[in-house]
Amino acid sequence: MNTFPADAGWRMPAEWESHQATWLAWPHQRDDWPGKFEPIPWVYTEIVHHLQASENVHLLVNDAAAEDNARRHLAQAGVSLERVRFFPFVTDRVWTRDYGPIFLVNAGGGLA
């Protein structure tokens, strides 16, 4: 017999529920935005800018060069890095919902 996490009282929290950080990946794959990539790092800069005003942001970067690029964009926009953490992690796309961690919670305050 198959069992599912929900059968044991686990559920995935909604995006508006309290959480420790929002995870994003710094854009790098030009093919994701054919012919329109140039403004995309600035779009992500604005996303980080708005998020870090009220929560932590965990930013995946492919390598040191990508981190430097992200830091440069964020600095030019006046984004405080106090709430931004960089994680070197090679990705092929920025869509973290497709490969990022999924957290489950239960009524007793458990986290899985």
pLDDT along the chain (112 residues), means of 10: 88 88 93 94 97 95 97 96 96 83 90 90
pLDDT of residue 95: 82
Tell me the CA distances in angstroms from 38 to 43, 54, 90, 91, one per residue in order: 10, 27, 21, 19
55 HSE (CA, 13 A, CB side):
17
Q: What is the C-alpha to C-alpha distance for residues 45 and 71, in angstroms, rounded to an integer?
A: 9
pLDDT of residue 40: 96
pLDDT of residue 100: 81
Q: Which pTM value belongs to this model?
A: 0.84
